[in-house]
Amino acid sequence: MKDKRSVFYPIRTKNDPVYDRNIVMISSKEKYVRKVLPNPFTIFSFPFSLVYNYNILFNPSEYLPPFIEINEARKTLGFPVGHPIDGNVYGTSEMDPNRYVPISSFHNDMYQSKLSFFIDMCSILGVKECTMTEMRQNGQIIKFNIGLAQNSGPTETEIENSFKRDSNSLLKMKGHFSFPKPKHKIEKIESKWLLTEQTWRKMQDIRIDRDISTFEIEFNVENDFGINSSTLAKFGGNKISLGGEFSEFTKTSYLYKIEFWEK
């Protein structure tokens, strides 16, 4: 069967490895060619364009965003409501490899997905209180002197003001979660997010096997899944539409103390 990849621009499908299509332009062929391929009348213009166009012509897979035809994308991939938009660039990860979101909101989407699983996990495992006790960022550590007896945790304002945060920081982490006593049986939960957190896996194993009362876990936001400003710059900067302003996230780790309901 003939390979669908063009020698002039890198075509992708959902059958390609995730690492080879984590950033793609969803577009009609006509718009893709018009937006990102060199204009023959300007190919030898000022030095930056000359270098950029040379790279595209002789190494397109490295300097052009991979391309998925928009009609195929609509049939085979998942998107947020209102998407895909013809000509926009989207991102995905191995967490949900057939769902794409606009690059501008990619990191926030990944964070919200991980937070959603974290809350589900706590509820299913019979967590009563979850209180932030420590926050680590860029080598700095802030400890919150909050006892479980208070069951309040730091406020969002206290968390926000703990470090000099980037104005584009996307994380809005809560200092405290409370859960009602579960009516269901404590059972194991499966998710790729568990593979990212050793303390989550350990907590689940211990909670399933025996009746523990407290535990400490981490919530780490450190993986950019290969989607960052450096990668996007390689694909031509303002030549591609990101669907909004792209923001890097600040790598941060939160430490939580967990209190369980009795089984």
The reply to whether 33 falls in a domain is yes
Q: Residues 103, 92: contact at Cβ < 8 Å?
A: no
Do 119 and 77 belong to one domain? no
Domain that holds residue 59: 18-99
* Residue 230 in domain: no
Burial class (CB in 10 A: 0-12, 13-18, 19+), 233: exposed
Taking only the tens of pLDDT, the chain with its 263 residues reads: 334 444 456 789 999 999 989 999 898 888 877 766 655 444 444 444 444 454 555 555 555 778 899 999 999 999 999 999 998 999 999 999 999 999 989 998 999 999 999 999 999 999 999 999 998 887 788 887 655 444 556 666 666 655 555 444 445 678 889 999 998 889 899 999 999 999 999 999 999 998 899 999 999 988 999 998 888 877 655 556 777 888 777 788 999 999 999 98
Rounded to 5 degrees, φ, ψ at 75 are: -85, -30
In a domain, 139, yes or no: yes
Same-domain check for residues 76 and 119: no
Coil vs helix vs strand at 26: strand
Residue 198 and residue 75 share a domain: no
Question: What is the phi/psi pair of residue 218, to 5°?
Answer: -105, 150
Number of domains comprising the chain:
2
Q: Are 223 and 183 in contact (CB under 8 A)?
A: no
pTM passes above 0.75: yes
